[in-house]
Chain A
């Protein structure tokens, strides 16, 4: 009976509870995608009214105005103006406004109203407005704006029924109108111009005039937010608190997440073992166990880290702290051309650059976000640790340097430090060369503190986890199969009873390794290393297993690590070992990182840039280190 496309867009300021309202309306019926050609996320959902009217809802990026400044805001502007080809102009808009701060949030409402789209105003956070003693005359406000108003408390799902009822009324009126109007196509376009300062001033004057009539009592000042802020934004205590929160975050994703990560690792190992036992040996078994389970498993292991990190991020964002952290760190990060908000993604990258890159979505400016994404794999992640340990054990003597400090531990610290220094230098370079131009303004609202809503946080966690598993997982699945094929085929000639050389040397990976050898000889790598780099591309730590295979060490042996360390300390020079260490600090030996970058930037260009610049950087640095050490007699 009804037209299939009753499309409603939700629009509102940042921090007005728009997404909470969207979640409350749509529940789990959501689809997360990307707007074509941009890195902006598109979230769509659906709901049904009591009488069975099907409604499609689009959660537009939060904005203070239709005068777009960022790519996200531009999407909101273009969708509402009907300028995006793939996105039909919404039939109506639910404007969401923070009831505790109508002075500012009504500006966008007036702008959208001027576009002539039918709209409903959801006055959200009514509970907070009431508890702060605010009295709003909704009838007067509605009449002066000329917009129907529904009070809501999105975090407690209050006001949804009346909102849906309003939408139904709007739909009926819309159907009637459409019957009477035949020139709809022609009226689609209308002029829109950027607001001049004078227009903005007049808009605010109009808001003041409307609020003067409709607000019986203004909300009392945010006493608690002020009190908390004197601590949280204090130059000394605030900085210490931030350091404490970050230490806890680091502890969580580095140490506590390792417990569920072990479960997943064991589970994947058990699954692989089960298939190994149940199936006859053959290409299919090898594909399933070594290719699919091994490859996807190496990525799924990071799921606990991602969940813990996003639990933190969502709580920090929902409570209003994240903007404060950006405020505290802006100056320090700004020295390296980074945004204050880049701090937490970069810190997360110490655990793994995958959650780090996913966390950059809190950075609104596209250039700032891209710089942060591009440098985050330079931060030493936990997957490099096993490789560092192996090479340090093989090549660095464990002298006592001073007091409790030993040479091996100091080298480990220097490796971490090198990663940080490299990341910051690349950030400065990118800011100066690739992304020149004036630094975008900070201009950040510090919202009132709120208790994070459990529902919203759970929703966010499930959403992030499923995006990670589905999107990045499919790319990894494909890459793992390719890498498995390269490392498994062709087989050793069957005429030999016992292969004279390890299996892998006959494979394409082996051939590529041999072919690569002249290329990597200048940086001191032998063909064994070159071969191990290929499966090591699926995940950094798998290089150790691959080296074990190349040196024909018995796998599944707890002593394989020590065996390998003593083997390579005998067959490699110190210069080669150090060159490989430097390579591991700087190179992009991680297909998962590239897959996530592809997903987050919505283009193959940026993972390409990342792989290219990191490989060049790693090659140059390894070359210098190798030749210096040889010159000093360590060759």
Chain B
């Protein structure tokens, strides 16, 4: 399946990180690593941006634009 931005997947869904584009440093430091499982848990009011994602046991708020540097493929929970 073609990877998409983390900011593009629907709220509530799970995804697996394929790659990090751009200045990856900060994203990596927050634990957004290749192979990690993420869930988009919440979206803010006023246009649904920013979003809150869970990764490595932590809830992280980031803007959709920032999140789109993280490329993911949807993950279906068994």
A interface residue numbers (CB < 8 A to B): 64-65, 67, 69, 101, 103-104, 107, 194-195, 197, 200-201, 204, 219, 225-226, 229, 233, 235-236, 238-239, 323, 326-328, 330-332, 441-447
Contacts and interface: CB of A to CB of B under 8 A. Distances in A.
B23 to A, nearest CB: 9
A441 B66 contact: yes
A104 B57 contact: yes
A443 B44 contact: no
Contacts of A200: 25, 28-29
B31 A441 contact: no
A238 B26 contact: no
| Range, interface on chain B | 20 to 34
A338 to B, nearest CB: 13
A446 B25 contact: no
Contacts of A233: 42, 44, 52
Given A233-B42, A238-B45, A201 B50 contact: no
B52 A443 contact: no
B56 A327 contact: no
A65 B29 contact: yes
Interface of B: 20, 24-31, 33-34, 41-50, 52, 56-63, 66
B26 A443 contact: yes
B41 A229 contact: yes
26 contacts: A64-B29, A101-B58, A104-B30, A104-B57, A107-B29, A194-B25, A200-B28, A200-B29, A229-B59, A233-B42, A233-B52, A235-B44, A327-B50, A327-B52, A330-B44, A330-B49, A330-B50, A331-B45, A331-B50, A442-B63, A443-B27, A443-B62, A444-B61, A444-B62, A445-B61, A446-B60
Contacts of A328: 44-45
Contact of A331 (B24, B25, B29, B46): B46
Q: Which 7 A-B pairs have the closest CB atoms?
A: A235-B45, A446-B59, A331-B46, A233-B42, A444-B61, A200-B28, A327-B61
Contacts of B66: 441-443
Nearest to A441: B66
Nearest to B34: A201
Chain A interface, >50% SS class: helix
Given A101-B57, A442-B50, A201 B62 contact: no
A197 B43 CA distance: 28
Nearest to A239: B45
Contacts of B25: 67, 194-195, 197, 200
Nearest to B24: A197
Contacts of B59: 225, 229, 445-447
Given A229-B41, A239-B45, A204 B60 contact: no
Contact of B52 (A331, A332, A446): A446
B60 A201 contact: no
Given A103-B56, A233-B42, A69 B34 contact: no
Given A229-B42, A233-B42, A441-B26, A331 B20 contact: no
A331 to B, nearest CB: 4
Nearest to A108: B29
A627 to B, nearest CB: 39
A331 B28 CA distance: 24
Contact of A442 (B43, B57, B61): B61
A428 B16 CA distance: 38
Contacts of A323: 61
